[in-house]
Amino acid sequence: MDHFSIILNKVKGIHFISQQQQRIGLLTIATFISACALYNQVFKRPASKDNCPMVPYTDTWKGSSMDYLQDPRAFVEKWTEKLGHVYRVHMFGQMHTIASGKYAREILMSDDFDFGVGTQKKFDIFSMAGIFDNNLTGAIIRNAIVKHLNPHLKEFTPHVVENFTIGFHEILGDVTEPVELSHLMPLIQRMVTRGSATVFIGKTLCKNKNVTSIMQNITTDIGKMHPRYHQSWLMAFPWMLRLYFKLYGRLSQDIKRQRKIMLDALVPEIDKRQADAQNDPNWQRPTDVLQELIEDSALSSGKHGDIYTAVLNQLLILIFASIHTTSENTSITLYRLLQNPSVIDELLQEQEQVLRKAGYDPKSGKNSCEVFTFDIIKNMPRLDSVCRESLRLRSQFFELAHTNIRDHKVTLSNGVIIPSDGDVLINTWHNHHQGGDDIGEFNPFRYVDTGYPATKVGDNYLVFGEGRHACPGRWLAVQEIKTIVSMLIHDYKFHAPEGVVFPPKGSGLPYGKVIIERK
C-alpha cells in the first residue's frame, strides 16, 4: 500500500468522490509539498553566518531524529557537552535551534517566540479535535484561570477532594482485598478528571459519565492518532503533517461523536444557566470555569462561532492543558515514592504532625475527604519538595517548542539567528541538571526551607514553562497532585512487587505493577 493510501485509511471516515480523484488530488498535493520541503531543506537552511554549531548528520530527511529518539539522554548530554548552550539539530524534517542555560530563559521570556505555534507544528491537537476557530486565543482560558479559578482554589478543594474519592471508588471499589494494578495511570486519570471536572464544568455536569469519560480520555485518544506512532515517515514532512492534523479533525467520526456528546450535555446546561440568571431572583451564580466562559464577552460576541461551540472549544483547550499533564505528573510522583518507600513513612510523619496541630486525631479513622483541606495541604513542605523533585527529574529532553512568530529574524544575545518561523527547542534536561553533585539523584527533601515550592518556575525548573506564558494552572495542578498523594498514603498501603522503571526515552512515564491494600 502506498503512503497516500495509508494516510487515507488512517484518517477515518474520508468520503471523497472517487478513489481515483482521491489519489490524483493527494499525489498533486504531496508532490508540491515534497518539492517545497526539499527546497526548504536544501536552500533555506538557517544561515551559518551566525556561527551556531550544528550536530552533523548525513541523512537529509531524517537528520538526527533516529539518534535522538534511540537514546535522548545520551544524545543531549553528548552534544550539549560538545557544542554548548545553543546549537542546531536537524530533526523531524527540519532544523531546530536548541537552547539551554540562560538562552532558554531568553526564548521563554521573549514575545517574539510562541509556544502554541511551536507545539502545534509538532502536534496540532486543536485541529485534530475539530477546533477550527481562526480567532482562537489562549487569552480567554488563561484569563478564566488566573482571575477566577486560582483565587477560588481554597473553596473548590472540598468538592475536588470529594470527587477524587468518587473517582477512586469508580475504579477500585472498596478495596476490601488487596488489588493489583498493572499501571497507576488509569486510576489517577479518573481521580484527576473527577476532581478537575467539578472546577471546570460544575457540580451537575461533573456527574455526567459520558462527559467525564471524554475529559479523561480525549487527549490520549487523539495522541494515539499522531503519525509518530503509525506513520513516522510523515514526521519528515512538516507540511504533510499539518495537512494530516487538519484532515483528521475535519473527517474523523470519533471526533464528531465526542464533540456531539459534549455539546448534547453543554447546550441544555448553558441554556438553563442563562435562563436562571435572567429569571430566577434567587439564582446563585456558579463559581466554575464554565460560568466564566458563558459570561465571556468575546465568546458571546459571535466572533468565535455560536456560544455553545465557542465554549466547547475553550473547554477542550482547558482539558488538553490540564487533565493528562496533571495525571502524568501525579503518577510520576507516586512512582518515585514507590521506588523510595521510606519517603512515604516520612511523609506520613509530616501528615500526622500537621493533622494533630490542626486539631484532628490522625488515628480517629476519619476519612481523608474531611481532613485534607487546602490549608492542611499547604502546611506540608516535605510533600511539596517531593513533588518538585519528582517533576524536575522527569525524563524530558528537548521540549517546549517555541517558534519565531515575527516576520523577521531574531538574534539571540550570543549572535545566533533564529529565522522567521524558525523553531527553538528548550534543552530542559540540561537546565534541570544544573546544581550540586547529587543533582541527578532523587533527593526528596532537597527543596524544604529553600523558598522553592513546586509551583515556582525558574531556569532550572521548567516543568511549567517560564515567563509570561508560564502555566497558569500550576497551582491547581500541584494542589491536586499533593492532595491525591496525601489521600492515598493516608488510607492505603502501596508497593511495587516487581520494582519501578523510569524509562529514559519515549514518554518517559514510569511504570510498574502496584498492589494497593486498605490500611
The binding site for heme consists of: 471
Question: Does residue 94 interact with ligand HEM by CB under 6 A?
Answer: no
Q: How many residues bind ligand HEM (CB under 6 A)?
A: 26
Q: Which of 360, 470, 502, 505 binds ligand HEM (CB under 6 A)?
A: 470
Report how many helices (DSSP H) and strands (DSSP E) the chain contains, helices first.
Answer: 23, 10
Closest approach of ligand HEM to the CB of residue 466, in Å:
6
CB of 149 to ligand HEM, least distance (A): 6
Would you say 197 or 247 has its CB closer to ligand HEM? Answer: 197
Q: Please report whether residue 467 would count as binding ligand HEM according to CB under 6 A.
A: yes
Residue 286 near ligand HEM by CB under 6 A = no
Task: Identify the residue among 65, 157, 212, 325 touching ligand HEM (CB under 6 A).
Answer: 325
Dihedral of alpha carbons 310, 263, 218, 198, sign: positive
Measured in whole angstroms, how far is the alpha carbon of residue 189 from the centre of its chain? 13
CB 290 within 8 Å of CB 203: no
Check binding of 463 to ligand HEM (CB under 6 A). Answer: yes
Grid coordinates of 70: 534511540
| 519 to 63, 174, 259: CA distances (angstroms) | 53, 12, 42
Burial grade of 473 (CB within 10 A; 0-12, 13-18, 19 or more): buried
321 binds ligand HEM (CB under 6 A): yes
Name the residue nearer to ligand HEM (CB basis): 11 or 317: 317
193 or 351, CB closer to ligand HEM?
Answer: 193
Burial grade of 352 (CB within 10 A; 0-12, 13-18, 19 or more): middle
Give me the residue label for grid cell 460576541: 301
Helix (H, G, I), strand (E, B) or coil at 115: helix
- Nearest distance, CB of residue 386 and ligand HEM, angstroms: 14
Q: Give least dist CB 428 to ligand HEM, A.
A: 9
Using the rule CB under 6 A, give the single segment among 43-51, 62-70, 79-87, 472-480 that binds ligand HEM. Answer: 472-480
Pick 262 or 400: Cβ nearer ligand HEM: 400
Of the candidate residues 465, 490, 500, 516, the single one contacting ligand HEM (CB under 6 A): 465
Part of the chain binding ligand HEM (CB under 6 A), chosen from 36-44, 140-148, 244-252, 441-449: 140-148
Q: Which stretch binds ligand HEM (CB under 6 A): 16-24, 135-143, 181-189, 270-278?
A: 135-143
Cβ 433 to ligand HEM, closest distance in Å?
18
3-class DSSP assignment, residue 46? coil
Distance CA 299, CA 294 (A): 7
Beta pairing class for 423-427 and 94-99: parallel
Least distance from ligand HEM to the Cβ atom of residue 468, Å: 7
The site map against ligand HEM for 374-403 (x = CB under 6 A) is --------------------------x---
DSSP state of 146: I
Among 138, 305, 362, 508, contact with ligand HEM (rule: CB under 6 A): 138
Contact between 72 and ligand HEM per CB under 6 A: no
What are the phi and psi torsion angles at 438 (to 5°)? -95, 20
Cα 188 to Cα 481: distance, rounded to the nearest angstrom:
10
Give dist(CA 233, CA 241) in Å, integer: 10
419 contacts ligand HEM (rule: CB under 6 A)? no
Among 326, 331, 385, 486, binds ligand HEM (CB under 6 A): 326
Q: Give least dist CB 478 to ligand HEM, A.
A: 7
Residue 298 is a binding residue for ligand HEM (CB under 6 A) = no
Q: Identify any residues that bridge with 113 across adjacent strands, giving them in sequence order.
A: 404
Cell 530563559 sits on residue: 105
Binding residues among 96-125 for ligand HEM as defined by CB under 6 A: 108, 115
**H-run or E-run covering 114:** strand 113-114
From residue 46, give the alpha-carbon distance in Å to each of 53, 54, 120, 425, 483: 11, 11, 21, 15, 47
Under the criterion CB under 6 A, does residue 142 sit at the interface with ligand HEM? yes
Nearest Cα to Cα of residue 126 among 405, 320, 307, 324? 320
Q: Is 368 in the site for ligand HEM (CB under 6 A)?
A: no
Q: Does 93 bind ligand HEM (CB under 6 A)?
A: no
- Tell which one of 72, 202, 472, 510 touches ligand HEM (CB under 6 A): 472
Query: Could you identify the residue written with the cell 493533622?
Result: 355
**Residue 95: how many other CB atoms lie within 10 Å:** 19
- At 98, which helix (H) or strand (E)? strand 94-99
CB of 259 to ligand HEM, least distance (A): 20
Number of Cβ within a 10 Å radius of residue 445: 18
Site for ligand HEM, rule CB under 6 A: 108, 115, 138, 141-142, 145, 318, 321-322, 325-326, 329, 400, 463-467, 469-474, 476-477
